[in-house]
Structure 1
């Protein structure tokens, strides 16, 4: 996707160059410059290589949790580089403290995320091809007025080549919508090594749709109420403190918004909830079976990068006026360090009634709810994604993905709905004259390194069920719990069950006042199943969509559900490999990988720009507290006192 915004983001809370004792404080601009300088001076650095992604090399968890070692953890950067001249990928670890390259790894047969240089090269190769010029002129268009939209290959066409695909659009005059006028039937496959178009498809199968007035009404609202700046959010050495919550938010180049060291202060005691939470991988498969569409299967995290495609958040539009906005420093593929404004927002918002009870018509006790939202937005081609972590005072966590932007559409001869479910409308829905939107899915896998109290946790599958009529169910109304501990990694691939209201509880080794382990529970919300067939190649590359939950033993090298390098992969090098050892999970450091998703069947109301839809999940305390923690909040409103009646004389 050519028009995604390339920026390897490193979120900086303090001023650039300032020192931090927080081991997860993201690199400052000066740290990035130092790391790049040290890496390029190393004799092992390929001089023609480009930076693909640079982020903090995360310190070992055991050192972070060891108070005697935490203060002396060195600052290290991890950098993936790609040498196009040799088609080789390398990983560098740079110790910024000692100013040395501490490790270099050559990664065989791996194609990393795409860079701006890849897109520029593909654009140039296509435009110089005489078939492109002829095809565009034959359609009565000026080649200079056509945009070249470049994608990752979508399939492992050749493991030794860096392959891109190109599709074509006629942008509208305003430049606000590059995607509403596809040149259907035209596509190219490009080899960056040979600098050639290796495959050219040219079929005049549909007219180019008319331009759509995407923003026919004013989209800058002036009636948004102003909210006073928050007084309850504090940032101390990169750590955000709000109510009883403590955490460090980071924008990683690949995953985007990541939360580190999520803790809850309970009666003065700091209790661990999660070590790390992030969007690990995405898959967007399209359901159109034509050769021009079947390869459109985007791994938006592993092929393009969420962090490096962050976009600015605007007060009064993307976020409320009371938001704290933070900028980011980043390294581009040429090794330049740039600062990008307002890519992360932190704000309080009203959450409705937190709890309420009316003892009588005039005696009402209640509390107004308030949440903290940590938000980040990325644009991957035509789609806009808004990632939000929502923290509530009662200890609950909501992970929300907002989906908006512009649908990926195809040109068609159809101008109206035909109701036959055949022809061009067999795999797509008409949303405007000559415009079809193919059905597709979005899968979001979140890596949840929950450390409830400590690192010795147990994952339990909890089902609600009803036994058959009998001694256990005399009135045929029984509801019972079936609890089963996940003993090893191969048992850790689990499915949602609506029939059993299935949830997964992560318990610590500590007991609450009632004698039960303190715990948090994963509660599914937005779930879909893949329509890709079991033998579909993309499904073999994205096995994380097979089940909604995977549980694995913690491994500091395992971050991505589809593996480190899904671009042009021939199989899934992620979760299936992570589970291969079948490590024991009982009372171990366990990582959960949860996939939520949506199936998008387009409507005319989704065109020309989509109203935001949402995919969510919840992680809620279960016996973590001794009672409702909101009762300890100062915002609770007790029932009014009864007025004493005056005595009559």
Structure 2
């Protein structure tokens, strides 16, 4: 994992093969695709995606180990998904003149994700539809379409009795331009065919109106007056250094990229230890999520979004603001995406980087003489926030001074509301919670999948091991009955991965998974160095295995999957989950039943939350948090945070105003 060669891309607009695609590169890639389409006699193109085609893993590692030579860098390429209106995948060579399309492949029977332009188009099409306008006016007396909100949803639309590229829109009305429309659901769900530019069906409707606002100028409750400032002060700045998209912080090395689908991606994560950079992760990102709803009444049987594959987290990312999304000494990373015309779209402040205090890292008081040693922990935080229609998802990567890596997702935003389905008790719906009079918030799940391509101590991920804590039966070897040990299950790397390399969490036995490198051993234990994946208690997908939701969301039926690495095996629900019948991605790969022996394994960890909404989640939801940790296990010789220096926190004060005087060390 050597430093980047700045000269390798001099004058090309990027400094490293993994740097995100630039605005200029998007423009020239789009121009090359338009030229190709003209030569083929195709009409105007709609650009779904223009992004970096990352170098293959083997080529990238070979270039890095060769010292990043200027003349040996992997080719710089753009990957484009085009609609003609069929789906075309194109690869454009960017690093050598002339810039040209090197691959043009039609992909039959798939629908690319719904872009921001698609979502805006869907709302415009619904509002322009005469039947929708008639229903709004005759049923509700609504003539001002500016007060109508049409939430664009993907979902189980392959079940809809109509073909085409489909978006369903859940309907709401506002009482004023700044009103919270989720307080006023309308009971009809038009389905839009984006290719035809028209509404396929509209349905029937029932209205409800209530009052629950979240805009500061409309909030019906007075603001608190007892909240005093809590400022984060870093007079000497933060501890990181930057070289392009390479971050160095407290012995961590992390390379960042950002794309339309995964949002923030981490590459080449390593830790400086004993004078050398020790690799831990080759690549890590969130690669899919499913949000299925529990109401068995139509049309809500179609209500399940695969937000990564159906919309793209990068496409939905926020432009962050200082003092609101992050605090302290901040560095922001911008991103560049594209619109449907193939033009670059700049997203300022897409990723936030800051460091924050995290309490005590370690402490010991020698009670005999009163001498205390204590060190406070801080962590580096890399984050971005995506708004997917009604929900906000805030994604956080944490790096700690003891070599631990944390990952958290904070779920907030607004509940997707509806009316109580016909036949349900209007005072106590069976499939949701009344969050306001007449306003139903349905039960649902949020299921996430993160892909971890490990590189533990420059290995290929090595062996995987399932470890449980188990009690030892009372007997001759355990006469007092107090013994327990850890039970090691079959090594995942030696298994055919269709069956055994799929695992579930078990909080009762403290289950975790070790990622080992047999080629590197710990000097004291003599065992392979490792990192362990420590899951949080988490539900699995509750939809029936035979359901359409489960067929698309197989990844959420197990907490852990291990597969051999493949450059083209990136997304667990497949490359094109939108309107797909299911069976792509992990179920397709596992059906091959290949062995993991001597393979380069990839870890897929599924986790999430089952959300039974509360009235307290309305009109805006307090954060719900899910996630996991990666912790060193025999990777370091000793606690790598033992060398943190003692020092006072000058900002600390006692309640009486006196200086705290904490020295973080000996008195």
Superposition TM-score, scaled by structure 2 size: 0.88
Counterpart in the other structure of 1:389: 397
SS of 1:302's partner is helix
Structure 1, 515-524 or 63-72: larger mean CA deviation: 63-72
Does residue 353 of structure 1 match 2:360? yes
Equivalent positions of 1:439-588 (< 5 A) are 439-453=443-457, 454-455=459-460, 457-484=462-489, 485-486=491-492, 487-490=495-498, 491-508=500-517, 509-514=519-524, 515-588=526-599
Aligned partners of 1:16 and 1:29 also within 8 Å = no
More relative contact order, 1 or 2 (CA 8 Å, 6+ apart): 1
Aligned partners of 1:283 and 1:444 also within 8 Å = yes
Equivalent positions of 1:259-270 (< 5 A) are 259-270=266-277
Going from structure 1 to structure 2, the CA distance change for 1:256 and 1:300 (only over 3 Å counts) comes to same
Structure 1 residue ranges without an equivalent (≥5): 1-14, 415-419, 642-649
Going from structure 1 to structure 2, the CA distance change for 1:284 and 1:456 (only over 3 Å counts) comes to closer
Does residue 331 of structure 1 match 2:373? no
SS of 1:348's partner is strand
Going from structure 1 to structure 2, the CA distance change for 1:623 and 1:153 (only over 3 Å counts) comes to closer
TM-superposed CA distance for 1:410, in Å, is 1.6
Does residue 276 of structure 1 match 2:283? yes
1:151-208 Cα shifts (integer Å, max 9, x gaps): 224231369521221221113525363322111x21112223444433332042x523
Structure 2 Cα separation of the partners of residues 153 and 359 of structure 1 = 60
Going from structure 1 to structure 2, the CA distance change for 1:600 and 1:17 (only over 3 Å counts) comes to farther
TM-superposed CA distance for 1:627, in Å, is 0.6
Structure 1 Cα separation of the partners of residues 610 and 247 of structure 2 = 35
Counterpart in the other structure of 2:34: 40
Structure 2 Cα separation of the partners of residues 342 and 83 of structure 1 = 33
Aligned partners of 1:526 and 1:617 also within 8 Å = no
Aligned CA-pair RMSD = 2.5
Aligned residues: 617
Which of these residues, 231, 234, 242, is aligned with residue 235 of structure 1? 242
Counterpart in the other structure of 2:3: none
Structure 1 Cα separation of the partners of residues 281 and 566 of structure 2 = 15
SS of 2:118's partner is helix
Aligned partners of 1:282 and 1:300 also within 8 Å = yes
Counterpart in the other structure of 2:194: 192
Structure 1 Cα separation of the partners of residues 251 and 446 of structure 2 = 34
Equivalent positions of 1:582-621 (< 5 A) are 582-621=593-632
1:358-398 Cα shifts (integer Å, max 9, x gaps): 11262111101010000011000010010010000111011
TM-superposed CA distance for 1:555, in Å, is 0.3
Counterpart in the other structure of 1:26: 20
Equivalent positions of 1:8-87 (< 5 A) are 19-42=13-36, 43-44=39-40, 46-66=42-62, 67-68=65-66, 70-71=68-69, 72-84=73-85
Which of these residues, 285, 294, 300, is aligned with residue 287 of structure 1? 294
Aligned partners of 1:137 and 1:143 also within 8 Å = no
Structure 2 Cα separation of the partners of residues 39 and 576 of structure 1 = 33
Going from structure 1 to structure 2, the CA distance change for 1:470 and 1:154 (only over 3 Å counts) comes to same
Counterpart in the other structure of 1:223: 229
Superposition TM-score, scaled by structure 1 size: 0.90
TM-superposed CA distance for 1:543, in Å, is 0.2
Equivalent positions of 1:28-427 (< 5 A) are 28-42=22-36, 43-44=39-40, 46-66=42-62, 67-68=65-66, 70-71=68-69, 72-84=73-85, 88-98=86-96, 99-138=99-138, 139-144=140-145, 145-157=147-159, 161-175=164-178, 177-183=180-186, 185-204=187-206, 206-210=207-211, 212-215=213-216, 216=219, 223-228=229-234, 230-360=237-367, 362-412=370-420, 425-427=429-431
1:112-139 Cα shifts (integer Å, max 9, x gaps): 1012443344334433433212211121
Aligned partners of 1:549 and 1:593 also within 8 Å = yes
Structure 2 Cα separation of the partners of residues 469 and 199 of structure 1 = 68
TM-superposed CA distance for 1:250, in Å, is 1.6
Going from structure 1 to structure 2, the CA distance change for 1:153 and 1:496 (only over 3 Å counts) comes to closer
Structure 1 Cα separation of the partners of residues 60 and 331 of structure 2 = 27
1:80-105 Cα shifts (integer Å, max 9, x gaps): 11223xxx111111111121222222
Going from structure 1 to structure 2, the CA distance change for 1:172 and 1:474 (only over 3 Å counts) comes to farther
Structure 2 Cα separation of the partners of residues 536 and 209 of structure 1 = 35
Structure 2 Cα separation of the partners of residues 248 and 503 of structure 1 = 27
Structure 2 Cα separation of the partners of residues 358 and 503 of structure 1 = 31
Going from structure 1 to structure 2, the CA distance change for 1:317 and 1:586 (only over 3 Å counts) comes to same
Aligned partners of 2:252 and 2:272 also within 8 Å = yes
